Structure 1
């Protein structure tokens, strides 16, 4: 079977909803044992339940990826049972605002999760992966590559994720570690629905259609589409790919000029 992950162990951060949940399900469906690191453990348990009901294997771990020692402890417990083959750094938070409206506390919060969180997880797993190789997949964004209105702190953080991807790929090539990133455009997740409902009450359908049309293809992406790309990049079929960012954006980067 192509894209088989049978016998592989994967660690996915932020796997309780949206894109992260879809990635967990996709990896588990292809045979991986999935460890889900999630700040909201109840959401991670929902993902685990969905996976196990379908015959897959997964376990949830309460973890704040922004906390270095907490990540070390959780990762250490997982790796104590054996090495992990795959790390997907998906956990992240959003922020709306330009440089003037972004408070210092906003910047620190974005940094702690979107940048330090990725560092914490990679830092914790690299020594183990150096022994037999592995795959690291980071969730970047189209905001890392092109300018988007009112996304100053978020774009900054995803730009850092992109360059961390390149750096790790180069530094650990000799150890058989592949490191890539995915840059989604706008994806229809519960976060999008919540954002619209909070900021545009009574105009939900109008704003949903408007946001959908910002993608040249005419619609938002789906979490499953991101999950399928993640599966490919984590599989042996992608063994010739490292140090690369993969936009999945309905043409946003190239066709919006």
Structure 2
């Protein structure tokens, strides 16, 4: 008997994982992060575009494929000098970001990518198909992109506002649910328990949070390919996860709201940072 195919409400998916400026310590997500570039001249507004390969007239599908990729450098302008911690973490060199275009310039080029792929209208910017942004966790768009638009004194593009799919949340909650539902003798449960034990995650929390590598492992996918904290490599591995959960019959839809007007204490007026905070 053939397996049931899930009805999918979205037609395309944009998988994004950015790298941003940072400082050493525990305030990374409160910091005025600027989106930057990564090592080996790979660019750091990295996006993989996915479409359904087998969607039928009823909207049922389970096979996604990569149809295009976009990559571009982004040059920080508020604090153009990278910290030593940031360079160690991401592998990014100062020379790579010095010659990169600014964020508004990258957004203009990416908008052309969206138009070329039939995602938005060239004149109005209106969405032509139902597409969903996908990230590992909420931070890339909810935090980093919102911050960057403020610092670049630009309005957040309409085609990235709304909601996004937090892939980490989907996989982590699925693992938690499976572990509580299955018996102690089940091999998958024991494997996930060992994984979380190694990560220091016990006692078992109500909601676990799996890294990209851990998500690949619990989904029985090959290990992380490439260099971790490289935006394009992170993006490609997240894409593998999205393709797999679709294959398993998961309905892919947004689960995280994006507030383009969100503000942090260091934000002043007209895109100005309050220097006294840093």
| TM-score, structure 2 normalization | 0.30
- Larger radius of gyration between Structure 1 and Structure 2: 2
Q: Which protein is richer in helix relative to its size?
A: 1
Greater relative CO, 1 or 2 (CA 8 Å, sep 6+)? 2
Query: Could you say which structure has the higher strand fraction?
Result: 1
TM-score, structure 1 normalization: 0.32
